[in-house]
Homo-oligomer: A and B are copies of this chain.
């Protein structure tokens, strides 16, 4: 019998997000976001990492990045990168990512959105981790770029995950770092605290 598919995936959305002036924009994807989050996702057993952007040019760039490391000297130089990039899927919009994840499950995909701000009725990390234990229920974790996903995105999502709490007033993790922490908390198997 085939191994159970990992019931969590990550989508990194480049639109619709705010810029520093709270305008709704499409951000540019970065080579390093793609590599880092693919590696973190793979390390914690995910089978899908969706890069979502409405920009055709950006999707081409993403395909070149994932293709480059898949073939040619790039792939030979660092097979670890190739294996991580194998889980990347490039999507035009969130629906495309949801549909792809849905294909592996009977139960409807639920979206869990993330951000840096405190919001009412958000799910704690331990609570979400418990929900993930239901292996046939798929979850798509939504990460935003720029200054974060729009308020409409938060309203539309099925759940909101609590933000990662820092140690004081400064709380500006990069999306790469935030993704890694979320993955370790939700899919890690090590004891984290006594």
Contact = CB atoms under 8 A, between A and B. Distances in A.
Contacts of A75: none
A39 interface: yes
A32 interface: yes
Interface in A75-124: 77-78, 80, 83-84, 124
A168 interface: yes
A40 B164 contact: no
| Band of interface residues on A | 35 or more
A5 interface: no
Given A166-B43, A192-B126, A185 B184 contact: yes
A136 interface: no
Contact of A39 (B162, B173, B191): B173
Interface in A155-192: 162, 164-168, 170-174, 176-181, 184-185, 187-192
Contacts of A194: 126-127, 129-130
A84 B164 contact: no
Given A129-B194, A164-B190, 9 more contacts: A42-B172, A43-B167, A43-B171, A124-B190, A126-B194, A165-B188, A167-B189, A181-B181, A181-B184
